[in-house]
Amino acid sequence: MFRIKFHDICFISNKKQIYNSKIILFFYGIGCSSHDFEFLFRNQIYKEQLIIAELPGHNNVRNYRDNLLSYSKKIYLFLKKKNIKEITFFGHSLGGIIPILLVKNFLKKKIEIKKFINYEGNLTVHDTETLTKKTISYNKNDFMKYKFSKLIELCKVSDKKFLNCWSESLQKTSPLKFYDFSSECVKLSEKKELLSFFRIFFKFKVYIYGEKTVLRVPNYFFGSVRFKIKNSGHFSFFEDRIEFSRIFNQLILKKM
pLDDT digits (tens, 9 = 90+) for 10-42: 999 988 888 778 899 999 999 999 999 999 988
Query: Which residues, listed in sequence order, are joined to residue 206 by a DSSP beta bridge?
Result: 117
Beta carbons within 10 angstroms of residue 116's beta carbon: 24
The enclosing domain of 196 has a CATH number of 3.40.50.1820
Q: Which residues of 141-159 are buried (b: 16+ CB within 10 A; e: fewer)?
A: eebbeebbeebbeebeeee
pLDDT value for 74: 96
Asked, for residue 182, whether it belongs to a domain, the answer is: no
Alpha carbon distance 148, 170 (integer Å): 9
Pairing label, strands 226-229, 205-210 = parallel
Asked, for residue 97, whether it belongs to a domain, the answer is: yes
Asked, for residue 27, whether it belongs to a domain, the answer is: yes
pLDDT value for 217: 86
pTM of structure: 0.95
Coil, helix or strand for 83? coil
Asked, for residue 119, whether it belongs to a domain, the answer is: yes
Domain that holds residue 32: 2-126+192-253
Residues sharing a CB contact under 8 Å with residue 47, sequence separation 6 or more, in sequence order: 20, 22
Within 46-147, residue ranges assigned H as helices are: 68-81, 98-102, 132-136, 140-142
pLDDT value for 34: 97
Asked, for residue 120, whether it belongs to a domain, the answer is: yes
Q: Which amino acid is at 89?
A: F
pLDDT value for 19: 79
**Virtual torsion, Cα 173, 177, 179, 182, nearest 10 deg:** -100
Q: How many domains does the chain have?
A: 1
Alpha carbon distance 26, 92 (integer Å): 8
Asked, for residue 225, whether it belongs to a domain, the answer is: yes
The residues of the chain scoring below 50 in pLDDT are: none
Asked, for residue 165, whether it belongs to a domain, the answer is: no
End-to-end CA distance of the chain: 29
Q: Which helix (H) or strand (E) holds 253?
A: helix 241-253
Asked, for residue 161, whether it belongs to a domain, the answer is: no
CB 69 within 8 A of CB 56: no
